[in-house]
Structure 1
Amino acid sequence: MANPSLLILPGDGIGPEVMAEVRKVIDWFGTQGIAFDVEEGLIGGASYDAFGAPMTDATMERAQAVDAVLLGAVGGPKYDVLDFAVKPERGLLRIRKEMDLYANLRPAQCFDALADFSSLKRDIVAGLDIMIVRELTSGIYFGEPRGIQDDNEGGRVGINTQRYTTNEIRRVARSAFELARRRGNHVCSMEKANVMESGILWREEVQWVHDNEYPDVELSHMYADNGAMQLVRNPKQFDVIVTDNLFGDLLSDAAAMLTGSLGMLPSASLGAPMANGRPKALYEPVHGSAPDIAGQGKANPIACILSFAMALRYSFDMGDQATRLERAVEKVLADGHRTADLMGPEGGTPITTSQMGDAIVAALAG
């Protein structure tokens, strides 16, 4: 059988640095008889610099053909002057939309060694392990009409449309219920059904999927603003949260800080199964391109490495190998290895991006 195929898109800023550490992990698995066919491409500002577009048609074609895509980060201040249509972020939005990656999985897990790094008390976040499933290809970020236009009164009006269909809601709900069956068997659906018609539809359709297809999974509903409050009040009450594109964007960033550092958080964006049964998939760290520290060896590669662990689990059915990689990360942290973003008030000397990658590979080998 052919090796699983990966397209790596390092992107901008610290993207190439953290992705270099993922390559070390991939190479180590290769020494264990688990080989991947890997190719690289450009996206974001790097693609614009080379081709005048944040993503080329050729790169998009490759992304559609491989088993999974690994992405670093896109963007940076040097591109702020560009027209909106060619900003680096448009490349990321294009790949999500054209691959129809409708289910964005963002785990918020607090490693015990980092429980004191959260802005919340240790007893609130220690042992935290929740999954936020965000609908990624519809909602207010894609709805029409949209734009900025004159309001005929000497001013302007900005328009964005929140729009969802039955199918869009049901398919992401199914993703959440399937995940819950492998975790704590509880889904909390969040929307604003009290003030938004799209929220009413969301609640009704998620309930329909539960009642007709997943009655064995516990389901609760919560208004998204209350959900934000509950995430900082008692986050461990949640197992899987499913929500729309806008609320998912906000709530997952709030949940990210419960773990102590954005540099720790991976994500997966999944679509419909391909002919080989694997889902179309994009894996990327939650953090941005961090241009202020790019090239300095300060970036934390753990989120990108854990994104590869998610690829092992969700694209390649290698759950045991994913768990092994996650435990290697946990061991490295427990042993006191820290990049600059993980340094506590006691101080010390942080290790470099490359040294963190080497430590994780050593823990894998051990």
Structure 2
Amino acid sequence: MAYNITLIPGDGIGPEIVAEAVKVLDKVADKFNHSFLFTKILMGGCSIDEYGVPLTDEAIEIAKNSDAVLLGAVGGNVGNSRWYDVAPNLRPEAGLLKIRKELQLFANLRPAYLYKELQKACPLKEEIIGDGFDMVIVRELTGGLYFGERETKKVNGVETAIDTLSYNENEIRRIAIKAFEIAMKRRKKVTLVDKANVLDSSRLWRKVVAEVSKEYSEVELVYMLVDNCAMQLVMNPAQFDVILTENMFGDILSDEASMITGSIGMLSSASLGKSKLGLYEPSHGSAPDIAGQNKANPIATILSAAMLLRYSLNLTKEADAIEEAVAKVLSEGYRTVDIADSDCEKIVGTKEMGSLIADRI
């Protein structure tokens, strides 16, 4: 069967890691008798250079008419880039916010799993790691501070910046349902992370999520303040199954979770809506300091491609094959530099890691 996949290589290391994911997807297509038709579009700094905007309407239409979208990374060095000396809506990351909104992707799934082979790369002590951890962070993606009204103005002669955080019950309910559905397929525990001791928006989250939880009596619901959650992630990560939270909290916590897996280069993600169309991307940034040097870890992007197969194309066996290939390569001792310990003798580059994983499918 043929599937249309939109590719957004993006900026920095984006083109390199997307190329390796495509290499793996091509191997899947050969082995399982599928046809993946790839169409590239520009987004981020490269789109600004070409068109003057981070994402064109034409690019959005191509993405909308595909079965899934695979993204590398967008942006550059904020303090040292021509892309940032402009209005916020013209900066590279504005393209990412726009495509999420246009594709109506309100749920971001970020698995954080510690491979046994990478325990030495985990910065936590062995007694904290224990038998490892396996969690999914479900982050609301189209509301909150990132999409609220904002302005900078003079107030009584003092320059003042205002960012508005707002959520309505419908936005909260739909992401809560996603989280509980995921929990039902896992260990049946949802931890709602908020700041309900301070924020009205968090208190609404608690009210709506409690209502949703009544429809999932098998799932345990736990409430946790965001500052405590940040601490618990490095004290006892194994306690978490599904973490449900709002946009900004999820952005921060998922990066923290990625580091305790050994490297942010290991964390995949899926952004989903009501339809099968989803946007899949690694959780790390564009890393312009190592772009073009064959140093980037492509595993997060390759695992994102596996999520693409699983959630948008319903190709479960094929997704399993990619994840098993990644585990096999790691078990054989191969590492990119970001996940290598001092004793590692099999350090490989971006291209080599992609080829190794493809060869084991």
Change (3 A) 1:321 1:123: farther
Tell me the residue number matched to 2:143.
138
Segments of 4+ moved more than 4 angstroms: none
The answer (yes or no) to whether the contact 1:14–1:291 under 8 Å persists in 2 is yes
Tell me the residue number matched to 2:166.
163
Secondary structure at 1:90 match in 2: helix
Task: Indicate which of 234, 244, 251 corresponds to 2:246.
Answer: 244
Deviation at 1:10, TM superposition (A): 0.3
What is the CA deviation profile of residues 138-189 of structure 1, one whole-angstrom value per residue up to 9, with x for unaligned ones? 0111122x1111111x321111111110100000000100101111111111
Count of residue pairs the alignment pairs up: 355
Mapping 1:107-186, distance limit 5 Å: 107-125=111-129, 126-144=131-149, 146-152=150-156, 154-186=157-189
Q: Is residue 71 from structure 1 mapped to residue 78 from structure 2 by the alignment?
A: no
Tell me the residue number matched to 2:282.
285
Task: Indicate which of 79, 104, 121 corresponds to 2:108.
Answer: 104
**Residues of 2 paired with 1:23 and 1:349: CA distance?**
23
| Structure 2 unaligned regions, length at least 5 | none
Deviation at 1:4, TM superposition (A): 2.1
TM-score when scaled to structure 1?
Answer: 0.94
Secondary structure at 1:272 match in 2: coil
**Residues of 2 paired with 1:361 and 1:208: CA distance?**
45
RMSD, matched Cα? 1.3
Deviation at 1:347, TM superposition (A): 5.4
**Residues of 2 paired with 1:198 and 1:338: CA distance?**
43
**Residues of 2 paired with 1:147 and 1:13: CA distance?**
30
| Structure 1 unaligned regions, length at least 5 | none
Q: Is residue 61 from structure 1 mapped to residue 61 from structure 2 by the alignment?
A: yes
**Residues of 1 paired with 2:320 and 2:346: CA distance?**
29
**Residues of 2 paired with 1:237 and 1:361: CA distance?**
34
**Residues of 1 paired with 2:319 and 2:10: CA distance?**
24
Secondary structure at 2:342 match in 1: coil
Tell me the residue number matched to 1:15.
14
Secondary structure at 2:35 match in 1: coil
State the one-letter code of the partner of 1:17: E
Secondary structure at 2:360 match in 1: helix
The answer (yes or no) to whether the contact 1:29–1:35 under 8 Å persists in 2 is no
Task: Indicate which of 231, 234, 254 corresponds to 1:232.
Answer: 234
Change (3 A) 1:349 1:26: closer
Tell me the residue number matched to 2:354.
357
Secondary structure at 2:42 match in 1: coil
- Most deviating of 37-46 and 122-131: 122-131
Aligned-residue sequence identity (percent) comes to 51
